Amino acid sequence: MPRPRRAVPAWLAHPFRWQRQPVPWAAVARGTLCAGPLLAAGIATGHPAPGVLTALGSMLAGVNDRPGTRRTGIVHIGLPALAAALGMLLGASLRAADAGWWVVPALSAVGFVSGAGSVAGPVRSTAGMQMLAATVLGAGMPLPGAPWAKALYVLAGCLWLLLLRLVLRSPSPAGGPLSGERAALATVFDALADALAAVGGPGAEPARRRLTAALDRADEALRLRRLTSRLLRRPARPEELLLAERFAAATTLCEASVALLWEARPLPARVAAGPRRFAEALRTGRSPGRLSAPERSSAARGAFDHALLDAAVAFARERPLPPATTREDLPPARAGGVRGALGPTGRDYGLRVAVCIGASAAVALLLRADHWYWLPATVTFLVKPDLGPLFSRTVNRFAGTAAGVLVFAAAGTWLTGGWWPAVIAGAGGALLPFATRHFALQTGAITLMVLSFVYVGGARQAAAERIVDTSLACAIVLVVGHLPHLADPRRRVGPRVTEALRSTERFLRYVLEPRPAAPGAEGAAPGAVATRRLALRRDAYRTLAQARAAAETAAAEFHPARDPGPDWPTVVTAAERIVDAATACAVRLDRGAHRPGPEEAERLCQALSAMADALEDPGRRPPGTPPPVLRPVPDCATLTDVAAELERLRGYAGAR
C-alpha cells in the first residue's frame, strides 16, 4: 500500500508562489523611459553622477507605479518620493561629514524610525523603506555633489516618472477627468458580478474578498477626489456627485450580495448580468439598458432587486441629488499614524530594523570600507515583512540577486562602449512593473538597475561582491529575524486581528441595536442609518483583509519551535463569516424580520468583545464569569449562525 504523500510545509512552498495579474503595459512603457534614458543623458553630457541619482529616484518611484487613478498614483508615488529625497539628504550629509563608524548608530536610528512608521499603512510602509534605502545609498555611494543637490536629483527622478504617469496612461473609460474613478467603480461592478456567479460554490468567500478589495480601492479613489476638491476650495462638480451616488448604489448592492452569498443558493446567470451592464455603462458612457425582472423569493433577493432598481435610477439620473450634510459615512477612528508607530507593534518592528541595519553596516565596514553600502541596502528590503515571510524573502532575494549579477556580467562581456549600462537599466525599468508578480523577479530587475548605476558611478568590478554581500545580508536577517522577542508572530499579527475583531464587534452592535420604526411598507432603514452601517461594514472588512494578509504571512513563516502559535487565518475566517452573517441579518431586519431583544444582542456583542480582549492580553479574563452563553435566537436564523460562528471563533482563539 503506497504511503500517503505529506503536504509541503507552507514556509517551504511560499518561495515558489507566483501572482497572476495582467501585464501593465502602460507602466512597462513608463519604466522603459525612466532609468535608462536618464542614465544615458548623464553619460552623454559627461555628468554621470546626476544621471545615476535621477535614475535611482525613478527606479524607487517605479517600484510604486501600480494600477490606480491619477490621484492615487500621486499619493502612492509622491509620498515615498519625498521620503527618498529626505533619506538621500541624510545619507549624503553623513558622507560629507565623514562620519566613519558613527554611521552605524545613525543608520540604526533611521532604521528604527523607518520601521516604526511602517506600521501606519502601506504607503507609509513603502515611504519608510525607501527613506532607509536612500539613506544607506547616500551614505555609501561615492558620488560627487552637495547633499542638497543629491536629494534634488533623486526627487527629480521620482517626479519624472510621476509626470510620465500623468501622460502615459492605460486606455480609460469615458468620463474625462473622472476616467480613473469610473474605471475603479466599474471594477467594483465586475467583481460584484463575479461574486454573484460564485454564490453557492466553493469560490464564494474568495470572490467576496475580491469584491471587498475592489470596493476599498474605489472608495480610496473617490475620497482622494473629494480631498482634492476641499484643498482647492472648489465645490464638487455635478459629475463627481453623480459618481458618488453610483458608488453609494454599488455599496448597497454589495451588502445585498453578501446576504445572497450567505444564503448559498445558486443564482441564475441573469442576476449577474445587471452589475456587468453597469460596469459597461461606466466604461462607455452609455445607458446600462434593460435589467432582469425582480424576484422576491427571499429577503436577500428582494433587497438585491430593490438595490438594483435604485442603482438603475442613479445611472439614469442626469443631475445629482442635493448632497447630504451628515457625516455618518465616516468610518470609526482607529489607532494609526503616530499612535500606531509608538505602539508595541511599531516599537518591535522598529527595533528589528534597527538591529538588522546596525549589524549589517558594522559587518560591511569591517569587510570593505569602500563599498559597504550594498549589504545594509539589501537588509533594508529583506527585513520588510510586507514583502512576504522571512525565509521566502531571503531565498528569493538571493536567487534574484544571483540571476541579476550573472545577466549583468554576461552583458558586460558581450557589449562594449560606455553606453551599455543605460540599456541594461532601461531593460530593468521595463521589467520592473511586470516583476511585481514574484519577489525574486523583482529583485533581479532591481539588481540589474543598481549594478548599472554602480558601474557608471565608477565601481567597475563590484558585481561579484554583490553575491557575497547578499549572502551575508540573508544570514544576518535570518538570525535577527528569528530572535525570540522580535520574531513572535503574536506581537505582529495579534494587534491586527484584535483590531479586526473590534471592528467586527462595532458593526455587529450597530446592526443589532434597537431602532425606531422605519417608514415605508418595505421597512427600509433610514438613509443615515444605512449609510453608517455600510461604512462600519466596509471598515470591518478592511481591517479583516489587513489581518488576513498578516495572518497568511505569519502562517508561512518558518517556526523553529514546536508551538506555531494561534491559527490566525482560521480566526480571521471565522470573523469574516460573522460579518457576512451580520450583513445578512441586517438585510433581513430591514425587510421586517424579528429583531432580537437587547439582552441577547448584548450577549453576542460581549462575547466578541471578550475574545478581542483575550487576544489583546492573554492573561486577561473575559468580563463576566462564566462567559456569555450563546443560545439560538428565535425567528432569526442568521443570528443563530452568528452565535455558531462565535462559538467556533472562541474555540480557535482560545487555543493559544
118, 124 Cβ separation under 8 angstroms: yes
What's the CA gap between 340 and 332, in Å, rounded? 15
Amino acid at the residue 118: S
**Which amino acid belongs to residue 43?**
I
Q: Hey, what amino acid is at 219?
A: D
- CA separation, residue 331 to residues 287, 374, 585 (Å): 32, 43, 21
pLDDT at 518 over 50: no
Q: Which residues of 289-309 are buried (b: 16+ CB within 10 A; e: fewer)?
A: eebeeeeeebbbbbbbbbbbe
Lowest model confidence (mean pLDDT) among 170-184, 344-358, 615-629: 615-629
pLDDT for residue 152 is more than 90: yes
d(CA 420, CA 424): 6
Confidence of residue 98 (pLDDT cuts 50, 70, 90): confident
How many angstroms separate the Cα of 120 from the Cα of each of 334, 367, 495, 496?
A: 11, 36, 13, 12
- The closest alpha carbon to 282, from 191, 173, 192, belongs to 173
% of residues, the chain, pLDDT over 90: 18
Rounded Cα distance between 50 and 43, Å, is 9
Tell me the C-alpha distance between 215 and 277, whole Å.
17
Ramachandran area for residue 458 (φ above 0: left; ψ -120 to 50: alpha; else beta): left
pLDDT at residue 4 is higher than 50: no
- Is 257's pLDDT higher than 50? yes
> DSSP letter at 173?
-
Specify the pLDDT at position 626: 41
Taking alpha carbons only, the member of 372, 185, 155, 354 closest to residue 275 is: 185
- In Å, the largest CA–CA distance within the chain is 82
Going by C-alpha positions, the residue among 599, 620, 598, 602 that lies closest to residue 611 is 620
Spell out the residues 6+ positions from residue 143 whose beta carbon is closer than 8 angstroms to its own: 49, 52, 53, 150, 457
Is residue 235 within 8 A of residue 174, CB to CB? The reply is no
Cα 124 to its chain centre, rounded Å, is 11
- Per-residue pLDDT tens for 162-218? 888 887 765 555 555 677 788 889 999 999 999 999 988 888 888 988 998 899 888
Q: What is the pLDDT of residue 132?
A: 92
Residue at grid coordinates 446592526: 511
Helix (H) or strand (E) holding 94: helix 70-96
Residue 230's pLDDT is 73
Phi, psi of 459 (to 5 degrees): -90, 85
Please tell me the distance from the alpha carbon of residue 442 to that of residue 544, in angstroms, as a whole number: 28
Under a CB-based contact definition with an 8 Å cutoff, are residues 134 and 53 in contact? no
Report the amino acid identity of residue 567: D
Distance of CA 207 to the CA centre of its chain: 17
Only one residue has cell 476638491, namely 229
- 76-85, 114-123, 589-598, 609-618, range with greatest mean pLDDT: 76-85
pLDDT of res. 51: 93
**pLDDT digit string, tens, across residues 558-586:** 766 555 566 778 878 888 888 888 888 88
Q: How far apart are CA 614 and CA 618, in angstroms?
A: 5
Tens digits of per-residue pLDDT, 383-436? 876 677 878 888 888 898 889 888 988 888 888 777 889 999 999 999 998 888
For the cut 90, the answer to whether the pLDDT of residue 303 exceeds it is: no
Q: Which helix (H) or strand (E) holds 163?
A: helix 147-167
Residue corresponding to grid cell 450563546: 630
Please report, as a single letter, which amino acid is at residue 491.
R
267 neighbors 196 (Cβ within 8 angstroms): yes
Name the residue with higher pLDDT: 387 or 605: 605
Q: What pLDDT score was predicted for residue 203? A: 87
pLDDT band at 324 (very low <50, low <70, confident <90, very high): low
> Which residue blocks in 513-636 are alpha helix, DSSP H?
527-555, 568-590, 598-616
pLDDT at residue number 174: 52
Q: What is the pTM of this model?
A: 0.81
The answer to whether 135 touches 376, Cβ cutoff 8 Å, is no
Residue 23's SS3 state is: coil
Residue 654 has pLDDT above 70, yes or no: no
Determine the angle formed by the axes of helices 390-414 and 463-481, rounding to 10 degrees: 180
Q: How far is CA 503 from the centre of its chain?
A: 18
* DSSP label at residue 119: G
Q: Output 435-439 pairs: Cβ under 8 A, ≥24 positions apart.
A: 436/19, 436/21, 436/66, 437/18, 437/19, 437/20, 437/21, 438/17, 438/18, 438/19, 438/396, 439/387, 439/388, 439/392, 439/393, 439/396, 439/397, 439/400
